[in-house]
């Protein structure tokens, strides 16, 4: 018996017309449609005027691990399994990773039906550099953990994209302004591709004030990368001046890094200082 395959289908963010013809065909013909929300995928199919002929079952974070063995056996037996999330590309902060990993380990075919993604859509309309970027998923929910996470982005020079809930957005933007500097540029994309789409550009301080009155809808944030305020040789010279004035090397490195957004890490600067003395 010929083994089947796993299909990863990107679904519209809001406009059904963004669905690809390949996704429509897969919804109609797949033996199993594994959906993050079965109700939402049935509504999508209805809007696309397609009737799934295969079994529709749920695949979300809480049950993915238990679903994998059954789905792997179905694919080995010749079934085509289509995985879809509520909106956008599966696996991008959505279920599917465990199943894809298991298929890869089993040598089964995994194909993608490319299409909408909130990450790349927000990046494209943001007006911020898109040649190099990173994706951070959702920030931590607890304030202390969130501020620690934001500090890890202080020297990140790539544009950063992340999701946030509308309820937590004001606090996250305020923490970002306090941690990264209120003048750092960012863009909040709300309800991408939908009727009430909004792309709000500004500094973190401006966006935090804007969001303070409350925001609704699906949110994607694009954060400008850090701009180094001084080159490495200048930072090393600054450290050496502080050491000559009586500071310990490690303390001087920490002070210089804190005073220069976009500077390398304390460890990297420390190593550079030591190399300068060879």
Q: Model confidence over 186-211: pLDDT tens digits?
A: 999 999 999 999 999 999 999 999 99
Q: How confident is the model at residue 74 (pLDDT cuts 50, 70, 90)?
A: very high
- Give me the residue spans of the domains in the chain: 5-116, 119-223, 232-276
CATH class name, domain 5-116: alpha beta
Asked whether the predicted pLDDT for residue 246 surpasses 90, the reply is yes
Q: Model confidence over 18-59: pLDDT tens digits?
A: 999 999 999 999 999 999 999 999 999 999 999 999 999 999
Q: What is the pLDDT of residue 124?
A: 98
Asked whether the predicted pLDDT for residue 259 surpasses 90, the reply is no
**Of the given ranges (43-47, 146-150, 272-276), which has the lowest mean pLDDT?**
272-276
* Mean pLDDT score, 58-69: 96
5-116 shares its CATH topology with 119-223: no
Q: What is the pLDDT of residue 97?
A: 96
Are the C-beta atoms of 8 and 110 separated by less than 8 Å? Answer: yes
CATH 3.30.950.10 correct for 119-223: yes
Per DSSP, the residues of 221-278 read EEEPPP--SS-HHHHHHHHHHHHHTT--HHHHHHHHHHHSTT---HHHHHHHHHHHT-
CA distance 48 to 8: 18
């Amino acid at each position: 018996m010929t083994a089947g395959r796993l299909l990863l289908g990107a679904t519209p963010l809001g406009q059904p017309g963004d669905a690809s013809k390949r996704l429509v065909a897969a919804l109609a013909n797949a033996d199993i449609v594994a959906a993050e929300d079965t109700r939402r995928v049935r509504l999508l199919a209805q809007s696309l005027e397609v009737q799934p002929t295969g079994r529709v079952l749920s695949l979300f974070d809480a049950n993915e691990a238990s679903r994998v063995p059954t789905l792997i056996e179905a694919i080995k037996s010749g079934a085509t399994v289509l995985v879809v999330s509520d909106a956008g590309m599966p696996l991008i902060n959505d279920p599917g990773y465990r199943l894809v990993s298991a298929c890869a380990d089993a040598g089964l075919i995994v194909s993608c039906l490319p299409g909408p993604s909130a990450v790349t859509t927000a990046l494209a309309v943001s007006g911020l550099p898109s040649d190099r970027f990173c994706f951070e998923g959702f920030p931590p929910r607890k304030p202390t953990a969130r501020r620690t996470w934001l500090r890890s982005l202080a020297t990140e020079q790539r544009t950063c994209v992340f999701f946030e809930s509308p309820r937590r957005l004001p606090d996250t933007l305020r923490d970002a302004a306090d941690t990264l500097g209120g003048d750092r540029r960012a863009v909040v994309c709300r309800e991408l591709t939908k009727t009430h789409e909004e792309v709000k550009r500004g500094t973190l301080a401006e966006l935090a004030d804007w969001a303070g009155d409350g925001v609704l809808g699906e949110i994607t944030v694009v954060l400008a990368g850090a701009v180094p305020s001084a080159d490495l040789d200048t930072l090393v010279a600054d450290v050496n001046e502080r050491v000559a004035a009586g500071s310990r090397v490690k303390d001087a490195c920490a002070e210089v890094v804190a005073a220069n957004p976009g500077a390398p890490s304390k460890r990297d600067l420390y190593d550079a200082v030591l190399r300068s003395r060879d």
